[in-house]
Amino acid sequence: METVLSGIRSTGNLHLGNYFGAVTNFVKMQKDYNCYFFVADLHSLTTYPKPGDLHANVRAVLAEYLAAGIDPEQSTLYVQSDVPEISELYLLLNMNAYMGELERTTTFKDKIRTQPENVNAGLLTYPVLMAADIIIHRAHKVPVGKDQEQNLEMTRKFAKRFNSMYGVEYFHMPEPFNFGKALLKVPGLDGQGKMGKTSGNGIYLVDEPEAIRKKVMRAVTDAGPTKENQEMTEPIANLFTLMDIVSTKDTVSHFREQYNTCQIRYGDMKKQLAEDIIMVTTPLREKINEILADDAYIRKAVALGREKARASASKTLKEVREIIGFRPF
């Protein structure tokens, strides 16, 4: 059976981008694959979370994973920092990762631009840690959104380099996976770019209906089409993309028709979009809150996951150490 692996950084609650970009796939995959899902809390250290917030953030993401339908018995659900083997593999891979290629990574270049006051080595080697996350379980498939495509390309590069350096066929070349469909980029509500945890443009699974209505009604639009079948500006195309994800086909065609015939009222469209988002998030929010109140369940799930993840990770690390040439005395 092939192995699937994916992770989510513990830098905040899950938004619709995380959910539709990756998590809905996780849930679908459990039946057909050997699945590893984890909370990337080491990765979150690049932005210096306060010690008091770190644990609560990890707990929140765990509850959200579980509420979305991950079964901790069937899959392996764990916290990255619970598996020290990942950090050791990261160290080993760092020896064969080159400054130039790391500096050229788009996400790194973005960080330099957006947070020039905090360009730490953790940011530079972020793709190496991500590669360690993936290949520690020798994963074949990685369900991710479009934004992680380049990081996966780097993972394949590091895996391939390890194989050729030691003349082995040990690591697989992990591929991004969305059941044969294109990877998703869920847009934000600010008219440009993707929905992100730190961009202030997101709708979170735990948002109350009233908060969702407010956010959607404030979403950026334009002055409206002035001729039939006019090409859409980015803010409007983004609203339609969100609608494609959460609304029925009929609803989407209705508003597309209204747009194409210049009759659209963005207020009406937003009202409908907000209600359709609420339909998706309400059962999830209720389940998340239920799980957050159940400490014993979360504790049990994490303990089980830690044990399964360490069993798999330590096997890989032992083999990697042997390949590299570390031998017991």
Where along the sequence are the contacts to ligand TYM (CB under 6 A)? 5-9, 17-18, 21-22, 40, 43, 130, 133-134, 142, 144-145, 147-148, 184-186, 194-195
Angle between helices 249-260 and 234-246 (to 10 degrees): 160
* Comparison of 7 and 225: residue with beta carbon closer to ligand TYM: 7
In whole angstroms, give the CA distance from residue 130 to residue 40.
9
Least distance (Å) between residue 254 CB and ligand TYM: 25
Residue 307 CB, nearest approach to ligand TYM (Å): 20
Return the sign of the alpha-carbon dihedral for residues 122, 125, 126, 132. Answer: negative
Would residue 141 show up in a list of annotated catalytic residues for this protein? Answer: no
Q: Cβ 35 to ligand TYM, closest distance in Å?
A: 12
Tell me if residue 111 is catalytic: yes
Q: Between 194 and 215, whose beta carbon lies closer to ligand TYM?
A: 194
* Minimal distance, residue 327 CB to ligand TYM, in Å: 30
Among residues 141, 197, 215, 270, the one annotated as catalytic is 197
In angstroms, the CA 172 to CA 138 distance is 6
Cβ distance to ligand TYM smaller for residue 204 or 225: 204
| Tokens (6 digits) for 200 | 């202030």
**Residue 292 CB partners (closer than 8 Å, separation 6+):** 59, 60, 63, 298
Decide whether 86 or 264 has the Cβ nearer to ligand TYM. Answer: 86
CA 57 to chain CA centroid, nearest Å? 15
Query: What is the nearest approach in angstroms of ligand TYM to the Cβ of residue 313?
Result: 13
Burial class, 183, CB count within 10 angstroms (exposed 0-12 / middle 13-18 / buried 19+): middle
CA pair distance 151, 92, nearest whole angstrom = 18
How far apart CA 190 and CA 295 sit, in angstroms, is 36
Token pair of 289 as six digits: 């809150």
In angstroms, what is the minimal distance from the CB of 214 to ligand TYM? 20
Closer CB to ligand TYM, 124 or 264, in the complex? 124
Q: Which of 144, 284 has the CB closer to ligand TYM?
A: 144
Strand partners, 176: 142
Smallest gap from Cβ 113 to ligand TYM, in A, equals: 17
Instruction: Name the catalytic one among 141, 194, 215, 270.
Output: 194
Determine whether 109 is an active site residue. no
Q: Which is nearer to ligand TYM, 194 or 310 (CB)?
A: 194
Give the active site residue among 28, 31, 50, 111.
111
Known catalytic residues are 111, 194, 197
